[in-house]
Amino acid sequence: MEKYSLDQIKDEFIVQVGTLQRTLYDQELQMEILGGLIKKVRLERNMTQEELGKLIGVQRAQISKLENNTTNVTVDTILRVFSASKAKVNFNVELLNSNVKIAW
């Protein structure tokens, strides 16, 4: 049985790296992961969506949309959500084969 890496599978069945379709796919996947993290942290802090919404000044429905990736999210909102959840946020940006890390 031949084995394939996840990247090989994505290249074969999604589309090659460097194309607009692949970039959009990867961005969508990252937003799904971010929504899952928001929900995980909220639940670990024993907060309802309504409680988290009140802490950051939005309605419960907005928290639901964030968790389910049904809305565009700003960096400011991400920072407010994780700050209210008392979670540390790190961004990792890759630029021309070098890494830049920023922590809040």
> pLDDT for 16-26, tens place per residue?
778 888 888 88
According to CATH, the topology of domain 6-103 is 434 Repressor (Amino-terminal Domain) (1.10.260)
Token readout for 93 is: 């940006």
Q: Is 49 exposed, middle or buried (0-12, 13-18, 19+ CB in 10 A)?
A: buried
In one letter, which amino acid is 40? K
65 and 77 in contact (C-beta within 8 Å)? Answer: no
Q: How far is CA 90 from CA 28, 47, 51, in A?
A: 19, 22, 24
- pLDDT class of 96 with cuts at 50, 70, 90: low
pTM over 0.85: no
| pLDDT above 70 for 14 | yes
Q: Which residue has the tokens 């084995």?
A: 3
Q: Which residue has the higher pLDDT, 79 or 95?
A: 79
> pLDDT for 60-87, tens place per residue?
999 999 899 877 778 888 889 989 988 8
